[in-house]
Amino acid sequence: MANIVALRRRPASAPARADLAELIRSTGLTGLVRQASGHSDAGWDADRLLPVVPELRPLLSAGGLRRGTIVGVTLTPGGSSVLLALLAEASRAGSWCAVVGVPTLGVVAAAEMGIELSRLALIPNPGPEWPSVVAALLDGVDIVVAAPPGPVATTVAGRLAARARQRGGVLVVVETGPASARCPGADVTLEAVHSEWEGLGSGRGRLTRRQLTVHARGRGAAARRRQVQLWLPTVSGGLEAAPASAGYLAAVQEAV
């Protein structure tokens, strides 16, 4: 299996407000940033979209991940699978991805979803300076996934959004808890609103695949309500579009 870049947070004795260069060196990010796709401030406009799998494209107004934006993924049941699926196509196409603050990320599940593990950096426990770690990663990584330890202040969210716009990266914020505790400023948020497993009979059998209804809400061009129905995972472990089911229609009716 390909190597995964795994990064640990700095020791507690490190200065609380180290400059960015020191932060990169102390967390081992120097080599990672050099190897990332590396769009310069002036040059990333030529390639504004990072690809996503066809099944998720209807949820995004641009049909892909627009550079310089913030995407939210809510960790309802099925949310972790949606998160991994969101990274898969860009990773296969050569983009670097980093995941900050998600120690339970399933590496096997990531590989089964098609993520290129040799271009995946894991920082499971970034510590209290997680915004600085995320900002450092946005300097050279195409997609940075961040799970804040709690509600994100508007000023912090604004600084990270500005860094993503300046560097041409995509910041994916893992959202937990009530809507009031989520990261402000997301351009679009993806949420699995209905989950239904298949494979169990009357008290026996084994789970084979899961049908997910994924809803997108956003602002601006993404303000129009969008929903898709997916098998995620399928029997083989990937994802594919699914026909509308009774559960899907009920979810749509509830969301309207």
Secondary element (H or E) of residue 6: strand 5-6
Amino acid identity at 178: P
CB 245 within 8 A of CB 212: no
pLDDT for residue 169 = 95
Terminal C-alpha separation, the chain: 45
Spatial separation of the C-alpha atoms in residues 193 and 130, rounded to whole Å: 29
Which tokens hold the place of 2?
Answer: 């390909």
* Whether the bond into 77 is cis, omega within 30 of 0: no
pLDDT for residue 211 = 86
pLDDT for residue 29 = 52
User: What burial class does residue 199 get, using C-beta atoms within 10 Å of its C-beta: 0-12 exposed, 13-18 middle, 19+ buried?
Assistant: exposed
CB 190 within 8 A of CB 80: no
Spatial separation of the C-alpha atoms in residues 80 and 110, rounded to whole Å: 10
Domains of the chain: 20-188 (3.40.50.300)
pLDDT for residue 177 = 62
pLDDT one digit per residue (tens) for the chain, 256 residues: 444 555 544 333 333 334 444 544 554 554 454 434 544 443 444 478 999 999 999 999 889 999 999 999 998 888 898 999 999 999 999 999 999 999 988 888 899 889 999 999 999 999 888 999 999 999 989 999 999 988 888 899 899 999 999 999 999 999 876 554 466 788 999 998 888 888 776 667 777 788 889 999 887 766 778 899 988 777 666 778 877 655 545 544 554 4
Spatial separation of the C-alpha atoms in residues 255 and 53, rounded to whole Å: 24
Residues 6+ apart with CB under 8 A from 162: none
Q: How far is Cα of residue 12 from the mean position of the Cα atoms in its chain? A: 28
Tell the residue number behind the tokens 């590496």, with chain if given.
107
Q: What are phi and psi of 237, to 5 degrees?
A: 105, -10
Neighbours of 247 (CB within 10 A): 15
CB 171 within 8 A of CB 160: yes
Helix (H, G, I), strand (E, B) or coil at 34: helix
pLDDT for residue 4 = 54
